[in-house]
Amino acid sequence: MYFKDKSKIWILISFFLLIVIVGCQKEVEAGPTAPDFSLKDLSGQTVTLEQYRGKVVLLDFWATWCPPCRMTIPMLIKLQDKYRDDGLVILGISIDDPQQITDKDLLYFKKMSKINYPILRYNQKVMKDYFEGERVSVPTMFVVDRNGKIRDMIVGYAPDPLKKSLAAVMK
């Protein structure tokens, strides 16, 4: 054996364990702070992200013409019902062109789809802040924790990842 003294072996093992333990104690850092916004809902009221601080917010960027967005809506309705009392707020941010899909059209769509969460109209600032010049895919959902930090970004129709992400943040 290379080390004749067992105490040297234990010292080396202890040293490596200490490095591993100290190296693994780094806390998981929160994501970036979600950019605040000021958007109008379908009744003309101004909604900000800041007004929901202390709640978990799911921002759903979507459009009426998008089949995966339409597939996601029933799941979002169920999630809103399930977690509302635990502090979940879902905000649907429509990227529909207001000249083609009016607020009246969106209200009708909301009623027919039985959407139980607010629908907001996008603006260029919110698109720039959240997508940073990247090509926008819909649906795209951002999970924002109670402290206003982005915890997850989910692109496309992805029920399981969305449910897991929300369950982790709702704890």
Annotated active-site positions, please? 66, 69
- The four Cα atoms 19, 25, 28, 29 give a dihedral, to 10 degrees, of -80
Q: Which sign, positive or negative, has the C-alpha torsion 151, 62, 97, 107?
A: negative
Question: Quick one: which of 132, 168, 110 has its CA closest to 35?
Answer: 132
Residue 106 and residue 113: Cα distance in Å, rounded?
10
Q: Which helix (H) or strand (E) holds 93?
A: strand 88-94
Q: Which helix (H) or strand (E) holds 15?
A: helix 6-23
Q: Which two tokens stand for residue 36?
A: 């605040």
